[in-house]
Every structure is written in structure tokens, then in C-alpha cells.
Structure 1
């Protein structure tokens, strides 16, 4: 592995780990809001994010707030480590081809390449995480999964290998989320760095020389909000497809297109943005933490 590539992977992995541990309960709330379509009700309903958090804590305890934490940690650590590695390798490749001129389009392409590779590898992990997060009391009559291993073996037994790749289609479409986020992140860093250079009349030979932790946090949060609003409906569709089939083995939706059509038909545009509030509460600080930790670890390793 060439210089700094292993550092990108290590920094990304540490950033992903820190993000999941700190904000996992909000991810559970987001997932439960997303799958509640008002027609295939197989779990509890919540009035708001605060009501959901307090209800889960009261009825399921702290373990309920951290259901699915193991696959979330595994998936996030692998995803971010691999993502930063593949992204920086692609960016370096385009940088060599274009004499150091890598603009928004090439940042977008680099992030899309990285996201596609990561999605193919980690979809089973995210599916297991979603299933474990939805195991609220009263959610279906099937025997709950006892853990990650039991979930994987049960899915293979009941649904086959294809079961582990449910939601892959919208998952691949969600690659655009990471691509848009990384493109925005790189461009925001450039804008902030340029503004700093003008203010302090400093040499700009090093693009990020003037950036501070606050700048990285701002760039991470802003880029995440932009990408989230653009791609959130894909996340809702994926969560609904990844639900466990009922006791007869029948899924709520036959595929991504049906899920998208029925959601819009019965719930309108608001249905495609269900769970957005806890998603914003989770993803904005999570992206801030991820990029801040990543840049800090990169500086430390270098």
C-alpha cells in the first residue's frame, strides 16, 4: 500500500467507530420511523423523536437503545475505512491524470467509485443491523434474533443468500449520497481555505494550511445536510425493503420500485422523508465527528 493510503483507511475506521458509539440511539429512532408506513404496522408508533427515545428506554431499556450496535460498529468501521481508502486512491489517480486539477466532477466520480465498492461488501451487515433495530416488543410473532450470528443464519435459512442483499438497489443509489457529500466537502474546504488566505494574506501553496477543527466540522456538517436532503428517499425505501418478512415469509414490498410508488401514493412526499428529524439530529453531528476525527487522525499519523 503506497504512502498515506493505510493512514486514510485507519483514520476512516476510527472516525466511523467514534460516530456510531456516540449517536446510535438516534439511528434506531430513524429506522423505526422510516418503516412505519401506517399500513403494515408491525411495531410501536412514536409521536416524536423525544417520545421514541423515552419509550424505547422505558420499555426496552438501554439495550433497546443500542440494538444492532455490533453490526453498526462493524459496518461503519469497515465502510468508512474502505471508503476513505478507495476515495483517496481514486482521487489520486485522477489527480495524476489531470496534473493536479481535481474539480467537483472528479470528486463526485471518485466518491461514487468508493461508495459502490463499499456498498457491495457491506449490504449484509446493514441488513442485519436494520433487522436487529426493528425487534421491538410486539414486532411480529416470529422468534426474535438472539444476536448477529443468529440473524445471519436465520436469514440464510429462511430467505437464502438473496435475503442478505435485500435493499441493495436503493443502497447503490445511495452511493450518490456519499458522492454528493464528498464533492460538497472538498469544495467547502476550498472555499473556506481561500477565504482564510485572503483574510490573513497568507501563502496559499498548501490548500488546507489555514483550516482549523471548526472549519472541518463546518464542512462535514454542511456537506452532510446537502447530501441528506438530496438522497433521503432512497434510505426510506431501503429500510422498508430490509424489514423481516412476516411469519408466512411474505415481505411488505416486492421491490424498490413498488416501495417507492406505494409510499408516495399512500403517504405523499412526507412519507419519503419519514424519520428526517432524527436523521438530521444524528447525521449532522455524526458527519461533523467523522470528518473531524478523520482529519485529526490523519494529522497525527502523518
Structure 2
């Protein structure tokens, strides 16, 4: 193969691929709209260390009016986040593969870069945490108001909880793409559309359950960190030890809400994976 041909293919690969960004964005919008109430239920368990029935009782007493309170930040954050996740991953992976890097190394690097890039959206996760906490119902009227209040504490408040998010995003993205693409290679041989969609849902669901369980303690640390406004910024290890002691010094108490989290991950990542594949078929 000539040098000119190789260079041409490399340039074609490096051209901006808007389709991956769009598919990620669309899959996230569908996903968040379906799973937000479940996410809020799990959030209450993570934050307060309470059982499912107690968290459900809280939300039931608050009524339907507050059920979708706080959905705007995750809708913005998740739609942009998944757009970045899939788009940046392919923008990084494909040129590396064209340069004859090992495919698995290219996937890991692509996943790490996309996960790290997603961290620019930390302010949305920060505000979502505050709006979903009933303690702040009277303090924050809506998303815009929450952003204004946080700004009065300094712009660093927007990025409280950044470190656990970085520790979560990069490794989880790398694992997700490696597992997903191994699975997708096997799903693509299915000729029946219904079976293929079912397999895409189930595959994404099982990967989501596996990864969300592994990284669950980091989400607990992230929520505990972001639940505070003002004051000292503590390291993830300090927060983890604090939560561990507050919950009776038992590791299993760090996993309060993990069952519902698995349920949410099953539905969320299943919907997202199937929606992403269908959107790809539309735009390619």
C-alpha cells in the first residue's frame, strides 16, 4: 500500500464524524426520560443510607409535582455526556487503529479520553445532586437558581466531586466499550430484527449492571461530596471513610441502594444501547 493511500485513509478517518455524537445524544434523551424517577429513588438511598421502602415513602409524600424536579440537569448532562462518550471515543480510536495500534489498546485509550472529557459536565451532576435532595427543596427553586446560588460560593463549587467522577468515568468507559464491541460482533450475525434488538437491549443491560455495581462506591462518594455547599474540599478517601463510619462501620452499608441501582442500570443501559444501535441505522 502506498504512503499516499495510507495518509488519505488516515485523513478520512480523522474527519469529524457527527453521526456518533448525534446517536449518543439521542440515546441519552430517550434513556433519561424513561429512567429519571428510578434514578431519583436510588439517589435517596445513596444519600441517606435508607431502605427502598423508606426512599419510596419520601417521594410518595412529596407527590407527583416533585417527581421530575431536577430532570433538566441530568437531561442536559447525560445527552451531552453520551454524545461526548461515543463521539470522542470514535474520534480517538479510529485514527489509532489506522496507525496500526493494537485494537484493544486503542479502545482503552479512546474510552479513557472520552470519560475524562465528560468531566467538563460536572456542574450538571453537582446541581442535580442538590435538586434531588429534599433538604434543599426550599433553598433552590430550579436549575438556574441553583447555579446562581453556587456561583456565590465561588466557581470551584461547580466542580465539587470532580475527583471521584474522574476515577469513575475513564475506567468505566474503557471497560464498557471493550465489552460492548465484543458482544456487538456476535449480535450483528443475528438476522431477525426483533431478536437482534432484544439482544442489544440485554447486552447493554448486563454490561451496565456489571459496571455500575463495580463503580457503585465511587457514586456514593460523589453524592456525599456534592451534597455539601461551601467549606473544605475533602479527598475521596476522606469522604469514603466518613461515610463508612456514619453507616456503622460496615461495608455492606456502603451498598445501600445497589439493588435498585442494578435495576436502573439494567433498564437504562439496555434502552441506551438498543436506542443507539437503531439511531446508527438511521443516520449511516
Normalised TM-score (structure 2): 0.85
Q: Cα RMSD (Å) of the superposition?
A: 2.6
Aligned match for 1:174, one of 162, 168, 171: 168
Alignment of 1:1-302 (within 5 A): 5-37=17-49, 46-48=50-52, 50-57=53-60, 59-98=61-100, 102-103=103-104, 105-119=105-119, 121-134=120-133, 136=134, 139=135, 143-157=138-152, 159-175=153-169, 176-193=171-188, 196=189, 212-245=196-229, 249-250=230-231, 254-265=234-245, 266-302=248-284
Unaligned runs of 5+ in 2: 1-11
Partners of 1:226 and 1:143 in 2: CA distance:
37
Alpha carbons of 1:97 and 1:174: their partners in 2 closer, same or farther (altered >3 Å)?
same
For these two proteins, the number of residue pairs brought into alignment is 268
Distance in 1, matches of 2:58 and 2:219, equals 24
Alignment check: 8 A CA contact 1:107 1:186 kept: no
Partners of 2:203 and 2:20 lie apart in 1 by 18
Once residues 63 and 268 of structure 1 are traced to their aligned partners in structure 2, the CA distance between those partners, rounded to angstroms, is: 36
Matched residue, 2:3: none
For the structure 1 residues 74 and 270, does the alpha-carbon distance in structure 2 shift closer, same or farther, using more than 3 Å as the test? same
Secondary structure at 2:250 match in 1: helix
Q: Which structure 1 residue ranges, 5 or more long, are not aligned?
A: 38-45, 201-208
CA distance in 1, matches of 2:256, 2:89: 30
Structure with bigger helix share is 2
Contact conserved, 1:182 with 1:223, CA < 8 A, in 2? no
The CA distance in 1 between the partners of 2:56 and 2:226, in whole Å, is: 22
User: Segments of 4+ in structure 1 off by > 6 A?
Assistant: 1-4
Give SS of 1:144's match: coil
Q: Is the Cα–Cα contact under 8 Å of residues 28 and 67 in structure 1 kept in the other structure?
A: no
Kept in 2: contact 1:95–1:102 (CA 8 A): yes
What is the CA-CA distance between 1:250 and the residue it aligns to? Answer: 5.0
Residues 12, 80 of structure 1: 8 Å contact kept: yes
> Deviations 1:192-241 (Å, cap 9, x if unpaired)?
45xx58xx9xxxxxxxx9x8212221221121122112211111100000
Contact 1:5-1:85 at 8 Å conserved across structures? yes
How far does the alpha carbon of each residue in 1:26-59 deviate from its partner, in whole angstroms, 9 at most, with x for none? 111111111225xxxxxxxx531x55335413x2
Q: Which moved more, 1:63-72 or 1:290-299?
A: 63-72
